[in-house]
Amino acid sequence: MNLVSRIIFAALLWAILAPVMPSALVAQQGSDGDGRPVAIVTPMTTPPPVIDGRLDDEAWTLGEPITEFFQREPVEGEPVSERTEVRILADAEALYVGAWLYDRSADEIVTGERLRDANIQVADHFGVILDTYQDRQNGFIFMTTPSAIEYDGQVVNEGVGGGRTAGSSRQQRGGSGGFNLNWDGSWEVATSRDGEGWYAEFKVPFSTLRYAGGSVQTWGLNMVRRIRRRNEDAFWAPIPRQYNLMRLSMAGDLTGVPVPVQRAITVSPYARGSAERDYVNAPGDTDYPSDVGVDAKVTLTPSLTLDLTTNTDFAQVEVDERRTNLTRFPLFFPEKRSFFLENAGTFAVGTPQAADLFFSRRIGISPEGNAVPILAGGRLSGKVRGVGIGLLQIFTDNLDPNIEAGARENSFSVARVTKELRNRSRAGAMFVQRRATHDGADFNRTYAVDGRLGLGDAWTVDAWVARTETPGLQGGDEAVNVNLSYQIRDFSTSAQFRSVGRNFNPEVGFVNRVGYRYLDANIQKQVRMPSVSWIREFNPHINSRYHWDMEGDLESGYFHLDTEFITEGGGRFGPEFNFHNEGLREPFEIAPGVVIPAGRYNDFLPMWEIRSDPSARFSIQSVLRGGQFFTGTRYEGDFTVTYRRGETLTAALKVDHNIVRLDEGDFETTLLRLRVGYFFTPRIFLQSFLQYSDQANVWALNARFGWLDTAGTGLYVVYNEAQESHGLTSLTGPMTRSFIVKYSRQLRVL
């Protein structure tokens, strides 16, 4: 199928899947002049409630009950199926939220994993989002499950921009884009259960939040309840099913918030000791390094925060997932280090995983993946007179040449300004610089402007323009991206254009290729199927994306037709049909000794995917694909099985195997991952992560014990080992081993 045929086919399918306008949402009582629901904070005149999840304190009897919640799923606009009641209180220290989540089948409540920021979509849960500036675009999320986990995150740009949506797994997700799950605030939550349902009690200190000046304020607010066995989501401020909790432009109002004028300083010192051995670079030697460092947070104003760090350490962070790469382009690995994850959305500009203009993994991690010492740094973030600002300055040391040559001392600087406008619109600019500390002629700079224009609720235009400055590179150092999207309840479509010059070089960013023009088009339809009791929705969609070089020759093409069915339990299945085009201007080595020659290749690679109910004790995810691949064929089986025992134990095994037969040679790849987690309490856990990759010729183990305090601080005990392997069972010797003990504590000094 050539390009013209695909465009005609897409147009015909568009006509078949004609958009349907959404039905009107249910009107709410107690709404403001814009039709938004309004909740009132009750100031406390009694002692504050004890956060134990029982909701039997006298203070809760004073709160005004909020009882109207409306479904987004499965029947948009209908009242929540189970009685729900929420009260919101406040004193000079904190905001308190109490939720009575009644359930006529309390024995069927799904508790989920007992781990901070676990996947809440597989469990019953309750949560709030607070738009503390009432700019209808940014906010803080606080959620919990019957297991009393702390689930929190920062939202920017209504969650749009490549960040992970609320409910996704924390460990391997970065913080870039619209939702930063890895942000850890200091707050308290407790839950309880009985035969009538479950109950949640939140205490969110004002010192954890950022807000504008003024003693009594109105904030944006929405609340969500999920009843997992019905796959039901209900919201206080009604949300159409094409959106989620982060659609702050549709949130209600929380009035009478008695915010204090505060100045606060917290410090988080750490101490670390370890035993480490590098069998490759320093065989026979075991090192016993120890270190101390400190992070500090200074609240300059209620809306402006200064974060400082010295001798920064990330020993507790889980290792990256290994992946199979059968392309000629580099893989993207997300940021997971805590200092860089906080307020990460402030600095997110560009197109995630394709042309990120600032990518914090370039700081403190060398090109070969070695940890570079971070000497000190600071970040100023917040708002001044309604303008969002972000300033970041980090200094790094060099690396031992025996480990990696060329990793020199550097200074990294980032400056960012944004301004939220009406109707989901905004404008911004950013500057990024890397400069060698002892050589002013060794530098790299990126300049960018970006913006969003919201047209009603359905249309959105996003754009950014950037230029880089690198000594020795002249011309072709610019990039531009424009994205147009349209989204209503049962239909969505988008188109994106991007041009990246040959010398576009954001060294503190991420680009997977340069010197190209790119066009992407997507069409998706949602079809409800009430006649089939076990299928909720049919989601056919088409995606077409193409890269051309600057001379107009096709580099890569992809045409994707998917017919996905979603079950009432949350499972998914369906076939996919994928057409790939590759124009290789030069050969590339896809496997040791196997070189794909230059030329044009047209491949057809169909696929079948199935995912079972993710909340069940046993769940599976399977992908089978096979077909044409360059000069031959490729067949892949990707299978993951997950076991959950209540809220305490989770184990997941992934097996991914490729069989590739080419004229230039045959090869196979195998990737194994085994995760096991045991959760003693929501703050005490033991996790292990075992990986095997025959592309990397390595078995690797990462085991972590955590006994956490607040905001991710506490005790960590970590063991890492990598064994060289030239086959699944052929271990040829250790590569690295380390045993690390780290303890950190957050202290309020002002």
Residues whose CB is less than 8 angstroms from the CB of residue 683 and which lie 6 or more positions away in sequence, other chains included: 116, 706, 707, 708, 709, 714
Residue 89 predicted with pLDDT over 70:
yes
Among 661, 703, 712, smallest CA distance to 683 is for: 712
Cα 170–Cα 266–Cα 718 angle in degrees, nearest 5: 40
Q: List Cβ neighbours of 8 (8 Å cut-off, separation of 6 or more).
A: none
Alpha carbon separation from 671 to 324, 420, 643, 652 (Å, rounded):
7, 44, 20, 14
> 471: burial class by Cβ within 10 Å (0-12, 13-18, 19+)?
exposed
Report whether 236 contacts 80 (CB < 8 A).
no
Residue 554 pLDDT exceeds 90: yes
Q: What is the C-alpha separation between 185 and 297, in angstroms, rounded?
A: 12
Q: Is the peptide bond prior to 506 cis by the omega test (within 30 degrees of 0)?
A: no
**Can you give the pLDDT at residue 17?**
44
Give the pLDDT score at 63.
Answer: 93
224-225-229 Cα angle (round to 5): 145
Q: Hey, what are 368's tokens?
A: 């070969």
- Residue pLDDT, tens place only, 525-538: 999 988 899 999 99
**Sequence letter at residue 530:** P
* Of residues 143, 302, 142, the one with CA closest to residue 217: 302
Look up residue 471 and give its amino acid. Answer: P
- Residue 528 has what pLDDT? 93
What average pLDDT does this structure show over 83-91? 97
With a cut of 70, say whether residue 162 has pLDDT above it.
Answer: no
Kindly provide the residue ranges of all beta strands, DSSP E only, lying in 529-664, ordered along the sequence: 535-549, 554-567, 572-584, 588-591, 594-596, 599-604, 607-611, 618-629, 632-645, 649-662
What pLDDT is stored for residue 181 in this prediction? 87
For 320, 693, 725, 735, the CA distances from 731, given in Å and listed in that order, are: 21, 12, 4, 11
- Would the CA dihedral through 612, 614, 615, 620 be positive or negative? positive
Which pLDDT score is estimated for 24? Answer: 35
Residue with tokens 């271990």: 731
- 66: nearest Cα among 234, 261, 232, 216: 234
Instruction: Indicate the pLDDT class of residue 184, thresholds 50, 70 and 90.
Output: confident
* Nearest alpha carbon to residue 559 among 514, 523, 515: 523
Estimate to the nearest angstrom the gap between the alpha carbon of 711 and the chain centroid: 18
pLDDT at 4: 39
Task: Write out pLDDT tens, residues 385-396.
Answer: 999 999 999 999
- At 238, phi and psi to the nearest 5? -55, 140
CA distances to 241, 528, 532, 609 from 16, rounded to whole Å, are 22, 15, 21, 24
Q: Residues 21, 491: contact at Cβ < 8 Å?
A: no
Degrees (nearest 5) of the Cα angle 275, 293, 402?
50
Summarize pLDDT for 575-623 with one digit per residue, the tens: 999 999 999 999 999 999 999 999 999 999 999 999 999 999 999 999 9
Average pLDDT over residues 75-88: 97
Q: What phi and psi values does residue 237 have, to the nearest 5 degrees? A: -90, 115
With a cut of 50, say whether residue 15 has pLDDT above it.
no
Between CA 96 and CA 114 the distance in angstroms is 22
pLDDT at position 404 is 73
Higher pLDDT, 104 or 711: 104
The string of pLDDT tens digits covering residues 681-702 is 999 999 999 999 999 999 999 9
Average pLDDT over residues 244-268: 93
User: Residue 1 pLDDT > 70, yes or no?
Assistant: no
Is there a contact between 662 and 632 (Cβ–Cβ < 8 Å)?
A: yes
Confidence of residue 297 (pLDDT cuts 50, 70, 90): very high
Q: What is the mean pLDDT of residues 406-426?
A: 92
CB 594 within 8 A of CB 626: no
Residue position matching structure tokens 């989920």: 112
> What are the percentages of helix, strand and coil residues in the chain, rounded to 5?
5, 55, 40
Average pLDDT over residues 152-175: 61
What is the model's pLDDT at position 175?
A: 46
Show the tokens assigned to 113: 């994993």
Residue 299 burial (CB count, 10 A): 19
Question: Coil, strand, or helix at residue 14?
Answer: helix
Token pair in block for residue 331: 């893989």
Contact call for residues 327 and 669 (beta carbons, < 8 A): no
Q: How far apart are the first and last CA of the chain?
A: 67
User: Which tokens is 403 given?
Assistant: 């480990």
Report the 10 Å Cβ neighbour count for 552: 7
Residue 398 is predicted with a pLDDT of 87
* 20 pLDDT higher than 70: no
Residue 173 has pLDDT above 60, yes or no: no
Please give the share of the chain, as a percent, with pLDDT higher than 90: 78
The length of the chain is 750
Instruction: Quote the distance between the C-alpha of residue 350 and its chain's center.
Output: 16
CATH topology of domain 31-258: Immunoglobulin-like (2.60.40)
**Lowest-confidence region among 83-92, 177-186, 617-626, 669-678:** 177-186
Report d(CA 665, CA 596) in Å as an integer: 9
Report d(CA 362, CA 696) in Å as an integer.
22
What are the structural domain ranges in the chain?
A: 31-258
Q: How far apart are CA 728 and CA 570, in angstroms?
A: 35
- For the residues 86-106, what does the mean pLDDT come to? 97
Mean pLDDT (the chain) is 90
Identify the band that residue 9 occupies on the pLDDT scale cut at 50, 70 and 90.
very low
Q: Coil, strand or helix: which one is 319? A: coil
Look up residue 702 and give its amino acid. N
Q: Model confidence over 22-73: pLDDT tens digits?
A: 333 333 345 666 789 999 999 998 899 999 999 999 999 999 999 999 999 9
What is the reported pLDDT for 177? 58
Q: Is the peptide bond prior to 74 cis by the omega test (within 30 degrees of 0)?
A: yes
> Rounded to 5 degrees, what are φ and ψ at 401?
-55, -25
Residue type at 366 in one-letter notation: S
> How far is it, in rounded angstroms, from Cα 348 to Cα 154?
13
- Distance, in Å, from the CA atom of 60 to the CA atom of 53, rounded to the nearest integer, reads 12
Predicted pLDDT at 316: 83
Residue with tokens 């995630």: 352
Nearest C-alpha neighbor of 313 from the set 264, 227, 268, 374: 374
Q: Tally Cβ neighbours within 10 Å of residue 67.
A: 12
Q: How far is the C-alpha of 102 from the C-alpha of 54, rounded, in Å?
A: 13
Residue 215's pLDDT is what? 86
Give me the pLDDT at residue 623, please.
96
Would you state the pLDDT for residue 169? 44
